[in-house]
Amino acid sequence: MYVAVKGGEQAIARSLELLAEARRGDAAVPELELAQIREQLRLGVARVMQEGSLYDEELAALAIRQAAGDMLEAIFLLRAYRTTLPRFGYTQPLDTTAMRVRRRVSGTFKDVPGGQVLGPTYDYTQRLLEFDTTTPVVVKPAETPLPSNMPRVLDLLDAEALIERIDAGSDPEPMDLTREPLMFPADRATRLQNLSRGDEGFLLSMAYSTQRGYAESHPFAGEIRMGEVDVVVCPEELGFAIEIGSITLTECQMINQFHGGNGVPPQFTRGYGLSMGEGERKAMSMALVDRALRCDELAEANYAPAQNQEFVLSHSDSVEASGFVQHLKLPHYVDFQAELSLLRTLAAQHAAATDEQPLSVAGGEAP
Partner 1 sequence: MTPSYNFAFLDEDTKRMLRRALLKAVAIPGYQVPFGSREMPLPYGWGTGGIQVTAALLGPDDVLKVIDQGADDTTNAVNIRRFFARVAGVATTEHTADATLIQTRHRIPETSLREDQILVFQVPEPEPLRTLEPREAETRTLHALADYGLMHVKLYEDIAQYGHIATSYDYPVLVDGRFLTSPSPIPKFDNPKMDHSPALMLFGAGREKRLYAIPPYTRVESLAFEDHPFEIQRWEHRCELCGSGESYLDEVVVDDRGTRMFVCSDTDFCGQRRAEAQA
- 17 or 123: CB nearest partner 1: 17
Q: Does 179 bind partner 1 (CB under 8 A)?
A: yes
Angle subtended by helix axes 42-52 and 188-197, to nearest 10 = 140
Q: How many CB atoms lie within 10 A of CB 41?
A: 18
Count residues contacting partner 1 (CB under 8 A)?
55
CA-based nearest residue to 205, from 110, 306, 338: 306
- 259 or 332: CB nearest partner 1: 332
Piece in contact with partner 1 (CB under 8 A), picked from 37-45, 72-80, 152-160, 281-289: 72-80
Site for partner 1 in 298-317 (CB under 8 A): 310, 314
Among 149, 178, 354, 357, binds partner 1 (CB under 8 A): 178
Q: Does 89 bind partner 1 (CB under 8 A)?
A: no
Q: Is 233 exposed, middle or buried (0-12, 13-18, 19+ CB in 10 A)?
A: middle
CA-based nearest residue to 56, from 38, 30, 68: 38
- 84 or 126: CB nearest partner 1: 84
Rounded Cα distance between 315 and 199, Å, is 9
Q: Does 297 bind partner 1 (CB under 8 A)?
A: no
Rounded Cα distance between 280 and 49, Å, is 14
CA-based nearest residue to 206, from 298, 124, 312, 329: 312
Task: Please check whether residue 287 is in contact with residue 271, taking contact to mean a CB–CB distance below 8 angstroms.
Answer: yes
- 78 or 255: CB nearest partner 1: 78
Among 349, 351, 354, 357, binds partner 1 (CB under 8 A): 349
- 28 or 334: CB nearest partner 1: 334
Piece in contact with partner 1 (CB under 8 A), picked from 7-15, 249-257, 286-294, 295-303: 7-15
Q: Does 8 bind partner 1 (CB under 8 A)?
A: yes
Q: How far is the CB of 106 from partner 1 (least distance, A)?
A: 37
Q: Does 134 bind partner 1 (CB under 8 A)?
A: no
What's phi and psi for 129, nearest 5 deg? -60, 130
